[in-house]
Amino acid sequence: MTRIHIAQGRIIDPETGMDSIGDIYVADNRIFSILGQLEDFDAEITIDARNQIICPGFIDLSARLREPGATQKATIASEVKAAAASGVTTLCIPPDTSPCIDNPAVVELIDDKAKAANYMQIYPIGALTYKLQGQELSSMFALKNAGCIAVSNAQMPIANLLILRRAMEYAASFELLLIYRPQDYHLSQQGCAHEGAVATRYGLPAIPEIAETTALLQCLELVAHTGCKVHFGQISCARSVDFIRLAKHSGLPVSADVAIHQLHLTENDVLPFDGVYHVNPPFRRAGDRQALRMAVSEGVLDAICSDHQPHNIDAKLGAFPETEPGVSSLETLLPLTLSLVNENELSLMQAIAALTTKPAKILGLEAPSLKVGRLADLCIFDPEIIWQINTQSWLSSGRNTPFWQQNLQGKVTHTIQNGQIIFG
Partner 1 sequence: MTNDQGIQFTSEGKLKHFLTIEGLSKSLLTEILDVAESFASVSEQQVKKFPLLRGKTIINLFFENSTRTRTTFDLAATRLSADVLNMDISTSATSKGETLLDTIHNLEAMHIDMFVVRHSVSGAAHFIARHVAPNVSVINAGDGQHAHPTQAMLDMFTIRRFKQDFSPLKVAIIGDILHSRVARSQIQALNILGVAAVHVIAPKTLLPAQAESLGIKVFYDVKQGLEDVDVVIMLRLQKERMTGALLPTESEYYKCYGLTEEKLKFAKQDAIVMHPGPINRGVEIASEVADGMRSVILKQVSYGIAVRMAIMSMTMQAAGSRE
Active-site residue set: 307
DSSP string, 199-215: HHHHT--EE-HHHHHHH
Measured from the CB of residue 234, what is the shortest distance to partner 1 in angstroms? 21
Determine the distance from the C-alpha atom of residue 158 to the mean position of all C-alpha atoms in its chain, rounded to a whole number: 23
Strands 407-417 and 378-388, sheet pairing:
antiparallel
249-286 as b/e, with b when 16 or more CB fall inside 10 Å?
A: eeebebbbbbbbbbbbbbbeebeeeebbbbbbbbbbbe
With respect to partner 1, which residue has the nearer C-beta, 159 or 197? 197
Measured from the CB of residue 263, what is the shortest distance to partner 1 in angstroms? 19
Measured from the CB of residue 284, what is the shortest distance to partner 1 in angstroms? 12
d(CA 79, CA 122) in angstroms, rounded, equals 12
With respect to partner 1, which residue has the nearer C-beta, 91 or 211? 211
Of 108, 59, 131, the residue nearest 306 (C-alpha): 59
Measured from the CB of residue 273, what is the shortest distance to partner 1 in angstroms? 3
Measured from the CB of residue 203, what is the shortest distance to partner 1 in angstroms? 3
Measured from the CB of residue 206, what is the shortest distance to partner 1 in angstroms? 7
Beta carbons of 193 and 202 less than 8 angstroms apart: yes
With respect to partner 1, which residue has the nearer C-beta, 184 or 377? 184
d(CA 92, CA 125) in angstroms, rounded, equals 6
Beta carbons of 21 and 11 less than 8 angstroms apart: yes
The sign of the torsion formed by the CA atoms of 386, 392, 396, 398 equals positive
Beta carbons of 13 and 358 less than 8 angstroms apart: no
Beta strands in 61-132 (DSSP E): 88-93, 122-127
d(CA 165, CA 350) in angstroms, rounded, equals 34
With respect to partner 1, which residue has the nearer C-beta, 207 or 330? 207
Residues that bind partner 1 (CB under 8 A): 195-206, 208, 267-275, 314, 317-323
With respect to partner 1, which residue has the nearer C-beta, 63 or 193? 193
Determine the distance from the C-alpha atom of residue 219 to the mean position of all C-alpha atoms in its chain, rounded to a whole number: 21
3-class SS at 54? Answer: strand
With respect to partner 1, which residue has the nearer C-beta, 104 or 275? 275
d(CA 413, CA 24) in angstroms, rounded, equals 16
